[in-house]
Structure 1
Amino acid sequence: MVREVRTVLDLKPYRKALALPGLRPLLLVSILARVPMAASAVVLTLHVVSLGYGYAAAGAVGGVMTVGSALGAPLLGRLVDRRGLRPVLLLTTIASAVFWLTAPHLSYPVLLGSVLFGGLLTLPVFSVVRQSIAALVPPERRRQAYALDSMSVEVSFMTGPALAVLLATTVSPEVTMFAIGAGMVLSGVILFVLNPPTRTVAEATAPGRPVARREWLTPRLIGLLAISVAGTLVLGGTDVSVVAVLREHGQVGWTGAVLTMWAAYSLVGGFAYGALSRPVSPLLLTVLLGLATIPVGLGGGRWWLLSLALLPAGALCAPTLAATADAVSRLVPASVRGEAMGLHGSAITVGVALGAPLAGAIIDTTSPAWGFAATGLLGTLTALLSLPLHPRRPRPRPTDPALIMKLAHSEREKSALTS
């Protein structure tokens, strides 16, 4: 039995991936850079509320910034493809410094307008890291590398919001905003010095013509982006539904513990996914994530029951994100990989942005338990509707002369039998 488990979960690919030059520092920097980004939404909410506005106004600020991030990710990725990484890092680092240093002093109407540009020129850590992984890691090791990347996202989102709330409540939201700006500037400087490659040496030196968008933005890639939206829609809805269920049963104080357990399940699932001996389809993972989320609300209002109910869906979070990123990196040419990864990042952002208000609307009209069911069902259906965009690979034509003669002889025999 132990031997069978070892054959399914192989840890050697992890060791081989981490031994590749440049991957370890890239993953470490990605954790550092994502912590302030994970904290930004919480801090902006606390800041707007401290100005005397309601949570709807705070949500509007977060929504506008999300729109900016979704629009900016593919544009910055395209700029990386054409001009290189360092000019983009220089531009976004300066923009982040200006925004986070001035934002605490802006009135609400001015802040609402400026967050669009703040989101548009956000440091493109997510897409840059995933693009660099495709350049640093050979295809046979990318699944483990993207699994590690997804696990690093979970670590950042476990620590970032908690640190932000702690600093904002003990000092002030304004000081926390300055800290986020400092963190983003530091991350941009480190990435500028590290300058991780965005293409392999062979890809960078190989001659090639410009690739038109219609050539690489294929139905299959659109299907992968739809799957990414579906998966993160489920995650955004789950986040809101957890808070609503615990609040309804008077256990809102356990929210942090439940969300931490959910993130821990994702870490374990991501590690197991990378250790599997065979890859798993991102479509299948997304469908399973949606189906596993539907019954979570049946766990009741006790925090520990809700934590247990989240286990299957939580274990599928990081694998789903890793599988979609890996698939996108393999599907597009290296010359447009930055833009494609930007589109993937936008799809993730859009999914989360849709999932949270959708779950909130369902919860307001029914009950918190239906938030899980609705977003899980919608995520599943969205993933299944993308199925026609994933054509099966055509069977390879035989090239061996002996095999061709054998197939031809078999066809003649079939014709003789039928006649």
Structure 2
Amino acid sequence: MVGPPIVILCAAQLPSGVVAWGVGAAIVAGGAGIALLNPPLRAEDEAPAAPADRPRRREWLGPRMIAVLVMAFGATIVLNGTDLAIVATLKEAGQVSWAAVVVAVYGAASIAGGLLYGALPRPLPTWLLLGLLGLVTIPAGLAHDWRWLCVAGCGAGLLAAPTLSALSDAVSRLAPASVRGEATGLQSSALGAGFALGVPIVGGAIDTSGPAGGFATAGLAGLAAALMGWLLSRRSPIRTLRSDPSFIGASDAR
């Protein structure tokens, strides 16, 4: 959440090449830090499995896990596309200098949303969070200056962190401890694919129909991914849904 405003501020003050190298160095440093810290991938009550006990991929990479990966892909298209559409809107209004403020408001709203979501007695369905995120992103195209973008960013930001949190939680629930590293790697690949494709997809929409088209495209991508995730999830056996009602929703579990 703090990355985009920092990069925007640096890009306004420093050569683009320096900023690009700085971002790359930050990514490498973050990866090295995770490698050094080596956080555990299983809970204390989950005994480490022997290589012979490792489940076959088809046993855990089923419709529900694929649904999570699809939704992770869609979520990052929404988030990355929103950043791009915000800059395009401000550029059209001649207010690019306010980009960091708008993205900072979005990030603050996301942090608040994450805290509120963490306080809920039970998690919400992942597809519902992503669908709402996509739905509230579309009207942001009606904003034509930085003030209204801040208002729109508050609504979308409240759902950003909860959606990403729900995706990670779903992966950890669906993947056995012995393959959780592989599962989180697949999740990271889905997130990266969304970031990589989000820019050309939303950028093409902005070139064709303006910033409003960018917000609409990003939001519709989120809605489409949420729908696909919901449909894939419904293919799972009823007994599996009951074991993890948080992913589908209480109504489906019943």
TM-score between both structures, scaled by the size of structure 2: 0.82
2:7 is the alignment partner of 1:161: yes
- Secondary structure of the structure 2 residue equivalent to 1:276: coil
Answer whether contact 1:297 1:368 (CA < 8 A) is retained: yes
Following TM superposition, by how much is the alpha carbon of 1:214 offset from its aligned partner in structure 2, in angstroms? 1.3
2:112 is the alignment partner of 1:268: yes
After the TM superposition, which residues 15-26 of structure 1 pair with which residues of structure 2 at under 5 Å, given as runs? Answer: none
2:217 is the alignment partner of 1:217: no
Deviations 1:4-23 (A, max 9, x none): xxxxxxxxxxxxxxxxxxxx
Unpaired runs of at least 5, structure 2: 241-254
2:30, 2:134 → 1: CA distance? 37
1:179, 1:248 → 2: CA distance? 26
Alignment match, 2:183: 340
Q: CA RMSD in A?
A: 2.8
The one-letter code matched in structure 2 to 1:313 is: A
After the TM superposition, which residues 312-331 of structure 1 pair with which residues of structure 2 at under 5 Å, given as runs? Answer: 312-331=155-174
1:384, 1:323 → 2: CA distance? 16
Cα pair distance change 1:366/1:186, threshold 3 Å: closer
2:90 is the alignment partner of 1:246: yes
2:250 is the alignment partner of 1:385: no
1:199, 1:174 → 2: CA distance? 39
Alignment match, 1:305: 148
2:41 is the alignment partner of 1:198: yes
Q: Say which structure, 1 or 2, has more relative contact order (CA 8 Å, 6+ apart).
A: 2
1:378, 1:180 → 2: CA distance? 27
Please say which structure displays the higher CA radius of gyration: 1
1:256 is aligned, of 100, 108, 128, to: 100
2:201, 2:30 → 1: CA distance? 36
1:233, 1:276 → 2: CA distance? 26
The one-letter code matched in structure 1 to 2:180 is: R
1:314, 1:158 → 2: CA distance? 13
Cα pair distance change 1:163/1:283, threshold 3 Å: same
Alignment match, 1:356: 199
- Identity percentage over the alignment? 46
The one-letter code matched in structure 2 to 1:375 is: A
The one-letter code matched in structure 1 to 2:195 is: V
1:293, 1:188 → 2: CA distance? 34
Unpaired runs of at least 5, structure 1: 1-153, 397-419
Cα pair distance change 1:210/1:277, threshold 3 Å: closer
Answer whether contact 2:11 2:19 (CA < 8 A) is retained: no
1:356, 1:362 → 2: CA distance? 10
Alignment match, 1:292: 136
Cα pair distance change 1:205/1:326, threshold 3 Å: closer
Alignment match, 2:73: 229
Following TM superposition, by how much is the alpha carbon of 1:198 offset from its aligned partner in structure 2, in angstroms? 2.9
Following TM superposition, by how much is the alpha carbon of 1:393 offset from its aligned partner in structure 2, in angstroms? 5.7
TM-score between both structures, scaled by the size of structure 1: 0.52
Q: Number of matched residues? A: 238
Deviations 1:163-185 (A, max 9, x none): 7547845xx94598379648845
Answer whether contact 2:6 2:100 (CA < 8 A) is retained: no
The one-letter code matched in structure 2 to 1:196 is: P
Deviations 1:250-299 (A, max 9, x none): 11111111111111111111111111122111100000001101111112
